[in-house]
Amino acid sequence: MRVLGLIGTVGICGAIAAAGGCATSAVFQQELTKTNTQTVMAFEETVFNKHEVPEAFAHYVGADFIEHDPRLSGRAAEVRTSGAAADAGATGDVNDRAAALRAYGELVRQLAAASHREFVRTIAQGDLVATQSDWEQLPGRAHPIPVVDIYRLNQGRIVEHWDVMQAPAALVPQARAGAGDGPE
C-alpha cells in the first residue's frame, strides 16, 4: 500500500511540474507574440507615418529579409517585363534587404510626407503578425486604401513580409457595392 501511495505522490508531483512547464511555455509564447506585435507596429509607424524608412529598416528588419510584394522588393519592373525574375520565383519574392529598403524609401517619397496610415487592428500568433490599416496616400484628396500586412519575425526582427490592398470603396462599381451583404 505504501508503494502505491508513493507512486501516486510521484505521479501528482510530475503532473504539477509538467503543468508548470506548460504554463511557463504559454506565458513565453504570449510575451513573444506581444513583443513581435510591438515591433511590427513600431516598424509601420516609423515607415508610413514618420516616413523614416532607413531608421525603420535599421531598427526592425533582419538581414535575411524577404519581400513578397514585387512593388516593394525593388524588382517590380523586372517581374512586370519578364513575367518573373529568374531568381525571384513566380511571385517576385526577393531576399534582398537593400533593394527592399530602396523600394520602400521610393514609395514613401512618391506619396509625399502627408501620407498616413490609421491602424485598425492587429492579429498575432507566435512569430506571425498581421495588421489591418487604412492608408491615406493623399489625405483629403483620395479615399483611404484598406491594407493588410503580414509579417514573420525571427529573434525580434522582421524577416518576411506579404501584403494585400483593396480598392477604395469609392472606386468599386455600384453593381458590386451591395454584393454579399445578405439576402434582399
Residues 143-171 have a mean pLDDT of 89
pLDDT for 79-117, tens place per residue? 333 333 334 444 455 567 888 888 888 888 877 677 889
CATH number, domain with residue 151: 3.10.450.50
Q: Which domain holds residue 135?
A: 2-170
Model confidence, pTM = 0.70
Is residue 81 domain-resident? yes
Angle at 123 between CA 118 and CA 126, to 5 degrees: 135
Is residue 33 domain-resident? yes
Is residue 149 domain-resident? yes
Residues in a beta bridge with 61: 158
CA–CA gap between residue 137 and residue 153 (Å, rounded): 27
